[in-house]
A and B are shown apart, each in its own frame.
Chain A
Amino acid sequence: RKEVEQDPGPFNVPEGATVAFNCTYSNSASQSFFWYRQDCRKEPKLLMSVYSSGNEDGRFTAQLNRASQYISLLIRDSKLSDSATYLCVVRADTGNQFYFGTGTSLTVIP
């Protein structure tokens, strides 16, 4: 079983739509969780960390459900510039090993 699993999509949504991505992780002792954004032919960039209490940054809301071992990312009022691949990243409970999901592709359509 993979450490981190994501629906690869693609998700094609119209501008202004709300879209949600989920990600599951296998190690219940994982400590840190992140969503990264990767544009085509670019390096991944941190979008937001994910905390147990949930966190919001503008149109983006991240949630962590430890009991079910999943992380979610909600994007409201989608913009064309949100088109990218969104990577779910989980840090192992020990050491510095990060596990990356394969990414979920989002295309926002005019």
Chain B
Amino acid sequence: SAVISQKPSRDICQRGTSLTIQCQVDSQVTMMFWYRQQPGQSLTLIATANQGSEATYESGFVIDKFPISRPNLTFSTLTVSNMSPEDSSIYLCSVERATDYGYTFGSGTRLTVV
């Protein structure tokens, strides 16, 4: 299955600033997915990133707050903009597995906004 490198693994940021999270996949994939996991909660899909088109955002998430880039089939970034403490969470990228249609996840970015 695909191997995903995600960075940074963690960061502590000041409110009002922005953080860009990167995910690099070792193979070409059509879609990449960005999830958020808030403390004690399950995973919530933020958006689906397709190469060559705008990302598709889920209800409650907007491009101005979470801009996404997908410049090629192996890379994507998620930016958390104008951060507030409520954005403190784990952010995960993922790709679909070709073998069984499950997901493989990046190692996650643990974000704390102070």
Q: Which of B14-22, B60-68, B70-78, B99-107 forms part of the interface with chain A?
A: B99-107
A-B contact count (CB 8 A): 45
Taking a contact as CB atoms under 8 Å apart, the answer to whether B108 and A98 are in contact is no
Overall SS of chain B's interface: strand
Classify the secondary structure of A's interface with B. strand
B113 on interface, CB distance cutoff 8 Å: no
Q: Show 27 A/B contacts (Cβ-Cβ < 8 Å), sorted by A.
A: A32-B100, A32-B101, A32-B102, A42-B107, A42-B108, A43-B92, A43-B106, A43-B107, A43-B108, A44-B92, A44-B105, A45-B105, A46-B100, A49-B102, A87-B43, A89-B102, A91-B101, A96-B31, A96-B33, A96-B48, A96-B96, A97-B45, A98-B103, A100-B43, A100-B44, A101-B42, A103-B42
